[in-house]
């Protein structure tokens, strides 16, 4: 330790610096003129800092008025008292002085070696830092309060500076970041750069991150008061949705931004479910209308052309057994048709369809009979099916009915072109055919 | 090294500084004075009479009661060597 030798005492450099801080004018005399005991006593006796000199037995040999006040001891009461060996780390420590009213003063204690009245001694400097400690405690409490508010928010919150550096996050952000490690807009922590992360986002997230970055820049530069973006996290099942909000942090000197992220997956999925319900209701209405139309067509009086050409009653009422048999075959085709749709396979249903149309033709079936057949099949298949399956039967059934109708038309066209008209008479399957190919 | 050591620690209230002093004193005793040190903790706010009798000026103050003569240190107890030297307990 550097020491300045003075007549009467030796003052170590750090303590000299301390005195210079508190008594600048007097310090100049310490540096340039020899200081006597009297000068030194005069100097420290007026110091606002408490000053004690303790000898090698740790007994107080000198104390100024400030020390007496700080240690709540009467005038000249300290001299001769045992203080104890002052222990400090890095030249300072903090101790408590208790007062008669049980309040505490926090004192900063500094120690320096001196030679006092010809012997080794220690100069102990005491400085009341209670106000400073209370201010620090107040600041800590204020920070803890702000942190508690931040952590009590259910939204994930991060504060970023104008360069995009994340300065603070709350507990919800940390938890959400841990849950969604694949979300490059969320899986970030204090110290990382949010803007850089947005720029680095690739793949399915690149577009979203680009929009978020543009929004943040707009808020940062005052072009927008706030910014909001709803986005989905790619590759999540069930799908995860977030709303990202960006607002400026008011009164922040360096133009900070607050980024709020809220997991809205539950709301979003509920909205999607409601939308799906509405769509399903619409589809159901459409199906009901379609079925009503088919029923109207099938139950209407025979068209004059059909009636005149064939003079036939509906197949269903005239030959119920044949109708039931055809219906069973049609139902099988119905299922095969659905398989073709679901599994994208091509079961050989066309041949059976052609055979069925031929069978219908042999029984003088007319389009109304096909409609009735289709309607009966639709009712059978959709009575206890799920909405999705009902929709599939309805859509696939339309094609099936049209296909059957086409084959039936082709069957009749064959007789027209070959002039081999099958004739108008219809007989049950067990009756002997009136004309060739009329009965099964 | 004495076979029995009694150390009396004066603290003021249940403050972080007081808790730190107790913690470090226990560590010192476990490390350097195993099975031979007795610790007595006195809260000067609860027992001002004891502090007055001992003329404790500030806390934390640690007093070696046994073996005599009494020795005391005040301030930072984190450095085990400084504390033992200050109390005259270095071998």
Render pLDDT for A271-307 as a digit per residue (tens, 0 to 9): 888 888 888 888 888 878 877 877 776 666 555 555 5
Closest-CA distance of chain A to residue B78, Å: 8
B22-56 pLDDT tens trace? 999 999 999 999 889 999 999 999 998 998 899 99
Which of B17, B61, B78 lies at the smallest CB-CB distance from A84? Answer: B61
Residue length, chain A? 440
Q: Output DSSP code: residue B88.
A: T
More confident residue, A440 or A241: A241
**Residues whose CB is less than 8 angstroms from the CB of residue A328 and which lie 6 or more positions away in sequence, other chains included:** none
- The answer to whether residue B79 neighbours chain A at the CB level (below 8 Å) is yes
CA distance B43 to A61: 27
Structure tokens at A345: 């396979």
Most confident of A270-284, A341-355, A424-438: A270-284
Sign of CA pseudo-dihedral A227, A230, A235, A240: positive
Q: Is A268 helix (H, G, I), strand (E, B) or coil?
A: helix
Q: Which of B74, B84, B85, B87 should one mutate to test binding to chain A, selecting the residue with the greatest count of A CBs within 10 A?
A: B74
Structure tokens at A305: 């052309």
ipTM computed for the complex: 0.94
Structure tokens at A228: 């909001």
Q: What mean pLDDT is predicted for residues A7-32?
A: 43
Q: How many CB atoms lie within 10 A of CB B5?
A: 19
> Which pLDDT band holds residue A106 (cuts at 50, 70, 90)?
very high
Which residue carries 């403050």 as its tokens? Answer: B15
Write A246-250 long-range contacts (CB < 8 A, 24+).
A246/A212, A246/A215, A246/A216, A246/A219, A247/A219, A248/A219, A248/A220, A249/A159
Q: Are B73 and A84 in contact (CB under 8 A)?
A: yes
Structure tokens at A209: 């991150």
pLDDT at A316 > cutoff 80: yes
CA distance B74 to B90: 17
pTM, to two decimals: 0.51
Structure tokens at A13: 């450099």
pLDDT at A9 > cutoff 60: no
Give the nearest chain A residue to B51 (CA atoms).
A98
CB contact under 8 A, B58 and A71: yes
Q: Indicate the average pLDDT of chain A.
A: 80
Smallest Cα–Cα separation from A381: which of A392, A393, A398?
A393
> Which pLDDT band holds residue B62 (cuts at 50, 70, 90)?
very high
Chain B residues whose CB is inside 8 A of the A104 CB are: 12-13, 15
HSE-CB of A188 using CA atoms within 13 angstroms: 26
Chain A residues whose CB is inside 8 A of the B69 CB are: none
Smallest Cα–Cα separation from A108: which of B58, B10, B9?
B58
Q: Output DSSP code: residue A193.
A: B
- The answer to whether residue B42 neighbours chain A at the CB level (below 8 Å) is no
CB contact under 8 A, B79 and A95: no
């Amino acid at each position: 330790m550097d020491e300045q030798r003075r007549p009467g005492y030796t003052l170590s450099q750090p303590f000299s610096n301390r005195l210079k801080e508190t008594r600048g004018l007097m310090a100049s005399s310490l540096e340039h003129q020899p200081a006597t005991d009297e000068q030194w006593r005069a100097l420290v006796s007026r110091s606002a800092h408490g000053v004690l000199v303790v000898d090698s037995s740790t007994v107080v040999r000198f104390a100024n008025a400030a020390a007496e006040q700080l240690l709540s001891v009467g005038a000249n009461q300290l001299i001769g008292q045992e203080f104890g060996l002052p222990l400090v780390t890095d030249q300072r420590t903090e101790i408590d002085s208790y007062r008669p009213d049980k309040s505490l003063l926090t004192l900063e204690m500094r120690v320096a070696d001196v030679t006092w009245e010809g012997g080794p001694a220690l100069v102990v400097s005491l400085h009341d830092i209670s106000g400073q400690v209370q201010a620090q405690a107040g600041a800590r409490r204020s920070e803890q309060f702000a942190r508690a508010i931040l952590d009590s928010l259910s939204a994930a919150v991060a504060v970023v500076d104008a360069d995009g550096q994340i300065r603070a996050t709350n507990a919800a952000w940390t938890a959400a970041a841990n849950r969604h490690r694949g979300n490059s807009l969320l899986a970030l922590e204090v110290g990382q750069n949010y803007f850089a992360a947005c720029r680095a986002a690739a793949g399915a997230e690149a577009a979203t991150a680009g929009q978020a970055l543009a929004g943040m820049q707009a808020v940062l530069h005052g072009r927008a008061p706030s910014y909001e973006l709803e986005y989905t996290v790619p590759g999540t099942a069930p799908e995860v949705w977030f709303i990202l909000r960006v607002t400026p942090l008011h009164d922040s000197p360096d133009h900070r931004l607050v980024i709020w992220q809220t997991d809205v997956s539950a709301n979003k999925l509920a909205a999607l479910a409601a939308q799906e319900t509405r769509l399903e209701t619409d589809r159901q209405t459409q199906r009901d209308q379609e079925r009503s139309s088919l029923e109207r067509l099938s139950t209407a009086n025979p068209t004059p052309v059909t009636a005149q050409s064939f003079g036939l009653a509906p197949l269903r009422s005239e030959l119920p057994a044949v109708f039931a048999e055809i219906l069973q075959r049609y139902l099988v085709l119905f299922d095969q048709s659905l398989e073709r749709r679901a599994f994208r396979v091509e079961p050989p249903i066309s041949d059976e369809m052609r055979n069925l149309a031929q069978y219908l033709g042999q029984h003088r079936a007319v389009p109304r009979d096909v409609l009735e057949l289709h309607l009966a099949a639709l009712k059978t298949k959709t009575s206890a099916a799920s909405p999705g399956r009902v929709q599939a039967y309805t859509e696939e059934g339309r094609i099936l009915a049209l296909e059957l109708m086409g084959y039936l038309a082709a069957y009749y066209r064959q007789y027209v072109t070959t002039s081999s008209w099958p004739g108008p008479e219809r007989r049950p399957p067990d009756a002997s055919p009136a004309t060739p190919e009329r009965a099964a | 090294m004495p076979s029995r050591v009694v150390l009396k620690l004066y603290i003021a209230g249940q403050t972080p500084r007081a808790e730190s002093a107790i913690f470090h004193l226990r560590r010192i005793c476990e490390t350097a004075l195993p099975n031979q040190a007795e610790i007595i903790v006195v809260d000067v706010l609860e027992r001002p009479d004891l502090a007055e009798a001992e003329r404790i000026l500030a806390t934390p103050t640690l007093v070696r009661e046994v073996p005599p003569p009494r020795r005391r240190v005040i301030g930072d107890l984190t450095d085990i060597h400084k504390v033992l030297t200050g109390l005259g307990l270095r071998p």
